[in-house]
Amino acid sequence: MNPALPAPDIDPVEQRRALRARTIAARQALTATHRAALMRHFETHLGELVARLAPTTLGFCWPYRGEPDLRAWAAHWLAGDASRVATLPVVPHEAGPMVFRRWIPGMEMPLDRHGIPHPAEGDPLVPDLILVPCNAFDAAGYRVGYGGGYFDRTLAVMNPVAVGLGFEFARVDDVRPQPHDRPMDWIVTEAGAFPAQPRNMR
C-alpha cells in the first residue's frame, strides 16, 4: 500500500490537492508499454466484476488525464448482449448532478468546456452501475476526484452501484474524506476487484 496522506495537522483540502497532483502526474508518466500491461489485468478484473453484477445500463467516463481508457472495453461489453446500454456523463449545470446519455461506439460528440466528448442529445438515463475514475482511493471506498463534487451529487441522486477505478499506485491508507463524500461500493485496479470495507469493520 502506498503511504497515507501527510500529517493530519495539515489542511485536508490541501492534502487532497497535493495527492491529486501526485497521482495524476504518475498516471500521465506511464509508458505505453507499462500502461498496456496494467490495462490487460485491469480489464480482466473489471470484466469479471461487471459480469457478476450484471447491469443492463452502465455509466462510464471518457478517459481524461491518463485515466484508464474503457472505450474498447465498453464496446466489447455492448457487443455481448443487444439489450445492454452504455452511457456517458453530461454536466448540464455546474452546481447540480450530472445526467447520463446513451453512448454508441463511433458516434460523433461535441466537446465540453474541459475538452471531453459527451453525448449532446438523447434522453437522460439512470445507470444501474457507474464506473467512477479515482485519482486516489482507500480501502473504505472513498476517493479523490477533481474537487468539483460532480460524482458525489450524482451518486446521491441516482444511488447506483458505484465502482471506483484506479491503478494501485493511487491506493492510500486514508484519503480523509469530507462529510459530503460518497464511498464506492467496489474498487477495481490491475490487482483485482475489492469490495469497500466500511471503516468500522476494518
Q: What would the pLDDT profile of 141-171 be if each residue is shown by its tens digit?
A: 999 999 888 899 999 999 999 999 999 999 9
Average pLDDT of the segment spanning 109-124: 92
Q: Which residue has the higher pLDDT, 159 or 86?
A: 86
Topology adopted by domain 12-201: Rossmann fold (3.40.50)
Binding residues for substrate: 67
pLDDT on residue 190: 98
Residue 10 confidence (pLDDT) above 80: no
Binding residues: 16-20, 67
Grid coordinates belonging to 115: 475538452
Average pLDDT of the segment spanning 125-139: 97
CB neighbour class for 95 (10 Å; exposed up to 12, middle 13-18, buried from 19) = exposed
CB neighbour class for 53 (10 Å; exposed up to 12, middle 13-18, buried from 19) = middle
What are the boundaries of each domain within the chain?
12-201
Q: How confident is the model at residue 95 (pLDDT cuts 50, 70, 90)?
A: confident
pTM of this structure: 0.91
Residue 202 confidence (pLDDT) above 50: no
Binding residues for ATP: 16-20
CB atoms within 10 A of CB 33: 8
